[in-house]
Amino acid sequence: MYPPMIGISLILRVLVPWQDLVDELTLPGIEPILWHIDDDPHDAPEADVLVTERPSNPRLRSRVSRIKGLKHVHLLSIGYEWVLEHLPKQVSLTNSKGAVEDATAEHCLALVLASLRQLPRVGQQQRERQWTRTWTSSLHGSKVVLLGAGGVGSEIRSRLLPFKPAELTSIARAERVHEQGYPVHSFNRLWAILPTADVVIVALPQTPETKQLIDAEFLSAMKNGSLLVNVGRGPLIDTEALVQELQSGRLHAALDVTDPEPLPAHHALWSAPNCIITPHMAGDTDQFIALVSELAVNQVIAFAHGEKLANRIIN
């Protein structure tokens, strides 16, 4: 059914986090082994390939570096910054680009709408059985700044446009015309438009350049009553500075990612006013699982037969 295995041992040992992947990868020449980087109490057994989620516990990330015989890591996510310092030399890396963008963009839109239309407040009124009409802001007519023009940023933009924002400005590191035909401005443009933005959406990857990009100076430049949404990475925002702005009542926020993460139970961000927090769940949909699983299976089979891998980060 499959072409001969090339350049690796007769049996390819593959660590996978879900039983469904074990079932799908039980194929000639492949030995799937159930092991979850978060949940298994022991380090991984020797293996050629690791298919893994991003561990929720940062202390467990180093487990990747201790896998004997490892040749390739495939991530069930787009983000890969967490694994780089733990990736042994000569180990290749791929991610799940193409499988998570739609789910993340959909969740981002939900956060924006829930915050602008004050759904948490209305939900509380429902629990208190209060019939009180609430006047809100909306995407329609708002000025939106979108930080990020990659796969996630592009999908977010396409979902925002039907809501007829007054302005929708995409910003990324380099100025260019996006392949879809719209202009992408550089960060130099940000400071001119930030004070007029009603909504600022963060969909950037975590890099040394973007870490704490949204600092006290950035937040102070946002206009009163504006909304900050983060579906990128938690460390892109100075959490302490954001908490201060929220506690003052000046800004609103909707966050799928935080710093630290997981957010400790005692953290001030939990009780900050005008803040929606979801537990890094933007990609957690049934459709995402189906897409990411299909990609993982195809990647493992391709690796087993010496074929070209999709989404290579490190060769």
Question: For residues 63 and 44, is the Cβ–Cβ distance under 8 A?
Answer: yes
Residue 173 lies in a domain: yes
114 in the same domain as 157 = yes
257 in the same domain as 126 = yes
Confidence of residue 108 (pLDDT cuts 50, 70, 90): very high
51 in the same domain as 119 = no
151 in the same domain as 75 = no
Residue 191 lies in a domain: yes
Question: For residues 200 and 176, is the Cβ–Cβ distance under 8 A?
Answer: no
Residue 3 lies in a domain: no
Q: Which residue has the tokens 């991610």?
A: 95
Residue 42 lies in a domain: yes
Tell which residue, 64, 26, 102, 89, has the closest CA to residue 301.
26
Confidence of residue 58 (pLDDT cuts 50, 70, 90): confident
177 in the same domain as 135 = yes
Q: What's the pLDDT tens digit per position in 14-27?
A: 999 999 999 999 99
The arithmetic mean of pLDDT across residues 59-64, rounded, is 94
SS3 48: coil
63 in the same domain as 155 = no
- Residues in CB range of 126: below 8 A, 6 or more apart: none
Assess whether pLDDT exceeds 70 at residue 8. Answer: no
Confidence of residue 6 (pLDDT cuts 50, 70, 90): very low
Residue 5 lies in a domain: no
Residue 225 lies in a domain: yes
The arithmetic mean of pLDDT across residues 39-58, rounded, is 93
Q: What's the pLDDT tens digit per position in 235-285?
A: 999 999 999 999 999 999 999 999 999 999 999 999 999 999 999 999 999
Question: What CA–CA distances, in Å, run from 212 to 235, 240, 285?
Answer: 6, 11, 28
Q: What residues are annotated to the active site?
A: 233, 261, 280
Assess whether pLDDT exceeds 50 at residue 2. Answer: no
Tally the C-alpha atoms within 13 A of residue 42's C-alpha that lie toward its C-beta: 5
Assess whether pLDDT exceeds 80 at residue 7. Answer: no
Residue 6 lies in a domain: no
- Residues in CB range of 151: below 8 A, 6 or more apart: 78, 97, 98, 101
304 in the same domain as 271 = no
Residue 2 lies in a domain: no
Confidence of residue 3 (pLDDT cuts 50, 70, 90): very low
The domain containing residue 195 runs over which residues? 101-277
105 in the same domain as 56 = no
193 in the same domain as 126 = yes
How many domains is the chain built from?
2
User: What's the CATH number where 169 sits?
Assistant: 3.40.50.720
107 in the same domain as 92 = no
240 in the same domain as 155 = yes
267 in the same domain as 187 = yes
Assess whether pLDDT exceeds 60 at residue 59. Answer: yes
State which amino acid sits at residue 274.
Answer: N
Assess whether pLDDT exceeds 90 at residue 156. Answer: yes
Question: What CA–CA distances, in Å, run from 149 to 152, 201, 291?
Answer: 7, 11, 22
